[in-house]
Amino acid sequence: MLVRLAYLALTNAFAALRLLPMGDRDKDVEILVLRHQITVLQRQLGSLSGTFIRFGVPTWDYATITAVRLTWSRSMKWSVLYMIIRGLVAGLILLTRGDAANEIGILVLRHEVAVLRRQITRPLLQPADRMWLTALSRRLPRIRWSAFFITPATLLAWHRALIRRRWRYPRRAPGRPSTATAVRELVVRMARENPGWGYKRIHGELKNLGHQLSPTTVRMILVRAGLGPAPRRSGPTWKQFLTAQAKGVIATDFFHVETVFGARLYALFFIEHVNRYVHLAGVTAHPTGEWVAQQARNLVMDLGERMATVKFLIHDRDAKFTAAFDQVFFSEDCRIIRTPVRAPRANSICERWVGSVRRECLDRLLVLGERHCRAVLRAYVDHYNRGRPHRALDHSPPTPANGPVDLTKRRIERRPILGGVINEYYRAAA
């Protein structure tokens, strides 16, 4: 302890002797420098109270450093203004003090800086601190720069950065501005949804939508997305191909229903491939060629103008599909496609619907007769077209009645079909 006190007394005596040739202005500037350095060290020492310290060096994570940098950049102007005002007030106070008081104050401040430096290995300076210390260094002779806790090279680098920032013009990225992400995604989407479109056709579509983009830029976007020229670009997927073909296809078939008394009834139906919409043509115990042809005429009348979009009709080689039946569709410019013998998968959509009507309806109740069977099937077909979700239609019915609804604000009610064999759910009136 005595050796430590003797060492401090000796170093302070030499420091006092070095203060003798200093002018009053240099002493005032050095006091301002030492005071500010003490403020920086105390601020860092206080902020480290809640951080993890390893061997005396604070370790901050990236998020903390980023938050501190953002805070510093936003409050830098106010910090600099505060430091200037505080420095002016401190300078006015120093003018009223004598030389002896200034020299003693310098020794005290130097010792406080040394004590704080023993606790903090690397001071963390804000941009405002660097600007203030750089400005004070220009008012203090270089021989007195030992008062700073940073090296002279660091001070000179800060001063060069300050001058460079003063004369720096706003930086702008070289070249043309980049294309918006939404526009690039739209170009790629058009190319993938339309394999036959080249970059010039896509440029024309974008121009119609109001996007000002050059053809060369469109071509570069396609190249970077890995999409080649239109003739060599990959064709449509099976889903796209079949969906496009299904818009003009209708299929038809029979299925039988056993009544509770053992009688067999036959039901004829048509189904549209594009939206799985089912048309129940009729139910009879004795289907004939004339009866089937009449059901075809009824279907054409029900479709009306929509019949012009039908290009193909699929049915099996049942003898009840006579030439008169085919002639009804020939007159509407519709081509007949007969499935191979014993190949139910060739008319798979009809077979799937027959399985659905059996599992969901006919296997759960007893059919009494023809009138009862017709009423049951009509009720199921109405439910199938209006309320039953389909996986092929993204879990939507062929004719959806309602759009999206907030289930927390509207009450949902149940509507029983066929005495509760099937249930539908709908939005109750507010």
412: number of CA atoms within 13 Å, CB side? Answer: 9
Q: Could you tell me the pLDDT band of residue 22, with boundaries at 50, 70 and 90? A: low
The angle formed by the CA atoms of residues 314, 320 and 322, to the nearest 5 degrees, is 75
Neighbours of 323 (CB within 10 A): 9
User: 159-173, 296-310, 391-405: which has the highest mean pLDDT?
Assistant: 296-310
Q: What percentage of residues in the chain have a pLDDT greater than 90?
A: 29
368 or 155, higher pLDDT: 368
How sure is the predictor about 166, in pLDDT bands with cuts at 50, 70 and 90? low
Query: Among 246, 269, 247, 33, which Cα is nearest to 132's?
Result: 33
Q: What is the mean pLDDT of residues 104-129?
A: 63
Joined tokens for residue 225: 């997305």
Please tell me which residue, 285 or 62, carries the higher pLDDT value: 285
**pLDDT one-digit tens code per residue, 231-283:** 655 656 666 666 777 888 999 999 999 999 999 999 999 999 988 999 999 99
Q: Which residue has the tokens 């002797």?
A: 17
Q: Which residues contact 83 (CB under 8 A, 6 or more apart)?
A: 36, 128, 132
Find out whether 155 and 42 touch, Cβ atoms under 8 Å. Answer: no
Helices (H), 120-180: 127-137, 152-166
Q: What is the DSSP letter of 187?
A: H
The segment with the largest mean pLDDT, out of 138-152, 181-195, 251-265, is 251-265
The listed range with the strongest mean pLDDT (43-52, 155-164, 311-320) is 311-320
Sign of the torsion angle spanned by Cα atoms 296, 301, 306, 307: positive
- Do the Cβ atoms of 81 and 9 come closer than 8 Å? no
Question: 270 in helix, strand or coil?
Answer: strand
Q: How far is CA 368 from the centre of its chain?
A: 57
Kindly report the number of other CB atoms within 10 A of residue 383's CB atom.
20
Domain residue ranges of the chain, discontinuous segments joined by +: 19-166, 181-235, 245-401
Range of 117-121, 134-138, 338-342, 426-430 with top mean pLDDT: 338-342
Stretch 46-58: mean pLDDT: 42
DSSP one-letter code for 84: H
Interval 284-309 mean pLDDT: 94
Q: Are 280 and 267 in contact (CB under 8 A)?
A: yes
Among 354, 361, 356, smallest CA distance to 376 is for 361
Domain 245-401, CATH class in plain words: alpha beta
| Predicted TM-score of the model (pTM) | 0.49
Segment (H or E) for 375: helix 370-386
Average pLDDT, the chain: 75
Residue 31 above 50 pLDDT?
A: yes
Structure tokens at 255: 């299925």
Residue type, 407: L
